[in-house]
Amino acid sequence: MTTTSSHASTVPPQPWPAPRAGAPLRAEVTVPASKSLTNRYLLLAALAQGPSVVINPLHSRDSQLMLAALEQLGAAVEHIQDWEHSGVAAVRISPIPNLDEPTPGAEATEPRIDCGLAGTVMRFLPAVAALTGQRVHFDGDPGARARPMGAVLHALRDLGVEVTGDGAPEHGEEGCLPFTIQAPTGITGDAITMDASASSQFVSGLMLAAARMPHGLTLRHAGDAVPSLEHVEMTCKVLSQVGIEVSYPALHTWKVEPGPIESFTVRVEPDLSNAGPFLCAAAVTGGEVSMRGWPKHSTQIGRRWTELLPAFGASVTEHPETDATVTLSVRGGSLRSPGTVDGTAELTPTVAALAALCTEPTRFTSVGHLRGHETDRIAALVTEIRRLGGTAEETADGFEVLSPVSHGGLVHTYADHRMATFAAVLGLVVDAVEVQDISATSKTMPDFPALWAGMIDRTPDGQP
């Protein structure tokens, strides 16, 4: 296993005192690149015809795990500090060799993929591993073993792949990490039906590798609604960006044509989900936070901040910047709850921080699948809101925040980056909030403490 874990140490983390904003925050901030886009581009580069360049990739635990895994599967990775003197970093990926004629057993060692706690690694790479013909072992953090994987493993079995070690067929349970993948005779099927109601990543993971399957893939979803459909939309868009044909032959059905993937050069957008805590800082302190480089059109679910923040009483303005981007400014107004928020997916913990500061209740619906995220986020959010004196209840498909938090305390983080940033937002306006393990943010934003402090320090007029 690699040692990228921020939780590998047995020394308990020091609580992080969340900085309190003494007055409305006024700052311009920049956030690192999108995790979801970075890991999709890195994976597709490893399946391409020749070397590809990903400019402005995310550097975080999840992207390091993706890179390390792709290297183990045979891709070569070169880090470029200053891409074409632009001052921006890049990574050049040379693809996994011999994918068209995989030779089982040709590799001397059997790759061992460390998924950490990254959904994009554990759900996206099994299909890639199957394409190599090698015997590949997958495992991850203790928390990763609790995350649902069954639909991906069933789908791979349906495509002729051998999956062992997950315990699922013997026990009739959903599969989970650890497991071993091998497709000694290649991928034989071309169509699958899966239940992707527990994670959109089940769909994305199969689609991302599908162009390199001998017959492409038709994937049909059967079951309750697929959550976070924006992420499937992102997958389709990224696939078409690199020249892969995707169509929609029927409802809840996606078809990926087989074919080569041309080399590509692409620049990654900032992470609009990770922008959330910074934008919410304006909303909760009644200040103004601006972000340059906000994409005018994005498949990221974080584009929804432009509707969510006004629903909580903030105003959002877009200032022209380039053909592709605007500067987004959020100005806090008087915080109020919209009553219900639906399908907020990975934005939920951050939206919950807003809800936990409103006097009116907020009901979160269609987010039941958050129980299979980095932690059971429904239970975690309800527990931590109660710990700080608020009232919250779990519901069948989400939770309700019934009364606001009233005092500080030590917020538990459950190795979840978004629980850490949830607490940081509350700490801006609630005295004595401490974050149990701020290093959880290294999953997608290792610089979070410095960026957060920078936002507060840049506020003029004698801020803390």
Ligand X SMILES: C=C(OP(=O)(O)O)C(=O)O
d(CA 160, CA 81): 42
The answer to the question of whether 94 is labelled as a binding residue is no
Angle, vertex CA 25, rays to CA 24 and CA 26, nearest 5: 120
Percentages helix, strand, coil for the chain, rounded to the nearest 5? 35, 20, 45
Check binding of 120 to ligand S3P (CB under 6 A): yes
Any known ligand binding at 119?
yes
- Altogether, the residues listed in the chain come to a count of 464
From the list ligand X, ligand S3P, none, which binds 271 (C-beta under 5 to 8 Å, kind-based)? none
When asked if residue 345 is in the footprint of ligand S3P (CB under 6 A), the reply is yes
3-state SS class at 33: strand
Three-state secondary-structure class, residue 414: coil
201 known ligand binder: yes
346 binds ligand X (CB under 6 A): yes
**171 Cβ neighbours under 8 A, 6+ residues apart:** none
Look up 346 and say whether it is catalytic.
yes
Q: Does 231 bind ligand S3P (CB under 6 A)?
A: yes
Identify which of residues 26 and 418 has a Cβ nearer to ligand X in the complex: 418
Q: Which residues ranging from 371 to 400 are in contact with ligand X (CB under 6 A)?
A: 373-374
Place of tokens 């047995």: 10
**How many alpha carbons lie under 13 Å from residue 458 in its C-beta half-sphere?**
16
Tokens of 149: 């994987």
Range 50-69, binding ligand X (CB under 6 A)? none
Question: Which entry of ligand S3P, ligand X, none binds 418, CB below 5 to 8 A by partner kind?
Answer: ligand X
The region of 104-112, 199-207, 214-222, 406-414 touching ligand S3P under the rule CB under 6 A is: 199-207
Q: Given the complex with ligand X, which of 24 and 302 has the nearer CB atom?
A: 302
Rounded to whole angstroms, how far apart are CA atoms 266 and 37? 10
By CB under 6 A, tell whether 463 contacts ligand S3P. no
Residue 118's binding partner out of ligand S3P, ligand X, none, with CB under 5 to 8 Å set by partner kind? ligand X
Q: Is 346 annotated as a binding residue?
A: yes
Interface mask toward ligand S3P for 75-94; x: CB under 6 A: --------------------
Q: How far apart are CA 363 and CA 345, in angstroms?
A: 14
Residue 366 marked ligand-binding: no
CB 28 within 8 A of CB 290: yes
Q: Contact, 35 vs 58, CB < 8 A?
A: yes
* Cβ contact 299:200 at 8 Å: no
How far apart are the C-alpha atoms of 319 and 175, rounded to whole Å? 48
Residues 201-230 that bind ligand S3P (CB under 6 A): 201, 204, 227-228
119: contact with ligand S3P by CB under 6 A? yes
Binding residue ranges: 35-36, 40, 119, 147, 199-201, 228, 346, 373, 377, 418, 443
Binding residue ranges for 3-phosphoshikimate: 35-36, 40, 199-201, 228, 346, 373
**Residues at the site binding ligand S3P, with contacts judged by CB under 6 A:** 36, 119-120, 199-201, 204, 227-228, 231, 345-346, 369
Residues classed as catalytic: 346
